[in-house]
Amino acid sequence: MYDVVLLSLAEGSGDSCGSGCGGCNAACATPRTPVLACADALREAGARVETVLAGSDQEIDAVLARFDGPARPDGLTWPDPAGNVRLVVATATDGQLRAVMRRLVRRYAPPPSKRPDDLPAGRTVPDLPPVAILPLDPGNTEDLAAQLGLPRTPAAVAAAVMNGTIRRLDLLRNDGGSITLDGALLGGSDDNGRAVPWRGRVEVDDAVLTDGAEPVLACAIGNGAGYAEFDGLRLLADGDPTDGRVEVAVAVPVVVKKLFKPTRVRVEVRRVRGRAVSVLPREGDLQFLDDGVAGSTSRKRSWWTEPGAWAVYAG
């Protein structure tokens, strides 16, 4: 018999609201009927179910502590791969899921000075415990669960949890202390949704996509495919959260001059895949959306890939 924790985030908690999410109060007010239906389906399947409404990082941490493994000689906190607790995260936005996964990373990521021998190569975090995603808006076709083809109804989510089929996925960590599950879009838009040009240096591993001297319409950093397009322009070729790489694209306006023809401007999209990406704004604050959460930075920001670090219960 499994112990299942069905975790919902209260309005104003974590990344979901009150931290620059850009006005998701309507989503946060979504009725929690799917949570109750999923809990009933889990109990019918024989699970012991507890529903938790978390309103702070500390309350999320109290839930995640149930996944801790036995004490280790090196003193590190590590997830228990043989534990019988399973987690379902009810999400109105991808930012809510990110809030929970960010706390998982912070709980289990060892300090660089204490990197243990059993940490997977090329990673800074161990294999994180799998989670089930319960969308509170079953009709949404653009959220991360939809992109991954995960179950969307309470009964299907419950079945996935009980069947225990696990799919491991990449995530991105960044030097701002957070993570990215789907992707980020750097650059703002005007009231009509048109891109506002900005300047900055964008590097992927050893490749320079732009050195900061030319205007950039948009920069997409993709782990998944959520930011593949912007303002009708295809940025990312494809979003694959299982290939161990981050895909980065910049859209740059290029002036084309031809003899005896009017000068025109075309948009050039430059794409590169790699292990890590850095963006250094050249002119004040740079606006961005990261897993649907709005923010800005005037300093260099870096993201790097953690291959297969997190996992979901798949149908």
Tell me what pLDDT residue 139 has: 85
What pLDDT sits at residue 22?
A: 34
pLDDT for res 195: 82
pLDDT for res 28:
42
Q: Which of 33, 44, 31, 32 is closest to 4 using CA atoms?
A: 44
- Rounded to whole angstroms, the Cα distance separating 20 from 288 reads 11
pLDDT at position 164 is 87
* pTM: predicted TM-score of the whole model, two decimal places: 0.89
> 70-75: long-range contacts (C-beta < 8 A, 24 or more apart)?
72/116, 74/114, 74/116
Assigned fold of 3-173: Rossmann fold (3.40.50)
Cα–Cα distance between 84 and 69 in angstroms, integer? 11
* Tens of each residue's pLDDT in the chain, 315 residues: 789 999 999 875 556 433 333 333 333 434 479 999 999 999 999 999 999 999 999 999 999 999 999 999 999 999 998 889 999 999 999 999 999 999 999 999 999 999 999 999 999 999 999 999 999 988 898 999 999 999 999 999 999 999 989 999 999 999 999 999 999 999 988 887 778 899 999 999 999 999 999 999 999 999 999 999 888 889 999 889 999 999 999 999 987 667 667 777 789 999 999 999 999 999 889 999 999 999 999 999 999 999 999 999 998
142's CB contacts (< 8 A; 6+ apart) are 226
Q: What integer pLDDT is reported at residue 260 of this predicted model?
A: 67
Tell me, letter by letter, the H, E, C secondary structure of the chain.
CCEEEEEEECCCCCCCCCCCCCCCHHHHCCCCHHHHHHHHHHHHCCCEEEEEEECCHHHHHHHHHHHECCCCCCCCCCECCCCCEEEEEEECCHHHHHHHHHHHHHHHCCCHHHCCCCCCCCCCCCCCCCEEEEECCCCCCCCHHHHCCCCCCHHHHHHHHHHCCEEEEEEEEECCCCEECCEEEECCECCCCCECCECEEEEECCEEEEECCCCECEEEEECCCCCCEECCEECCCCCCCCCCCEEEEEEEEEEEEECCEEEEEEEEEEEEEECEEEEEECCCCEEEEECCEEEEECCCEEEEEEEEEEEEECC
141: CB partners within 8 A, 6+ apart: none
Q: What residues are paired with 68 via a beta bridge?
A: 79
d(CA 260, CA 14): 58
Q: For the chain, give every domain's residue range.
A: 3-173, 183-290
For position 13, what pLDDT does the model report?
A: 54
Q: Which of 251, 254, 256 is nearest to 209 (CA)?
A: 251
What pLDDT is recorded for position 68? 97
pLDDT of residue 192: 79
Res 254: pLDDT: 86
* Model pLDDT, residue 265: 73
